[in-house]
Amino acid sequence: MSSRVRKLIGTVALLVFLVLYVWAAGAIGSGRIVEAHGLAQVAYFLVAGLLWVIPAGLLIRWMQGPD
């Protein structure tokens, strides 16, 4: 697979993933977390705010692979 095609697929996949991830994290954050203790809210938003980095990094590493 050529580098250009891999980057195009990776970009589209990353955008779709981020939209779905933000929607899911926001739905959880505005629903159940509102009723939780303050430290639980901080922990949730800290984890949810950083968790997307792992799959995005793996996808970007795949996009930068050799031809």
Which pLDDT tens digit goes with each residue over 29-63?
Answer: 888 888 889 899 999 999 999 999 999 999 999 99
**Per residue in 6-28, pLDDT tens?**
999 999 999 999 999 999 999 98
Question: Where are the domains positioned within the chain?
Answer: 3-63
pLDDT at 9: 96
How far does CA 43 lie from the centroid of its chain?
A: 17
pLDDT at 2 over 80: yes
What band does 1 get if pLDDT is binned at 50, 70 and 90? confident
pLDDT at 47: 95
CA angle 21, 24, 30 (to 5 degrees): 130
d(CA 9, CA 5): 6
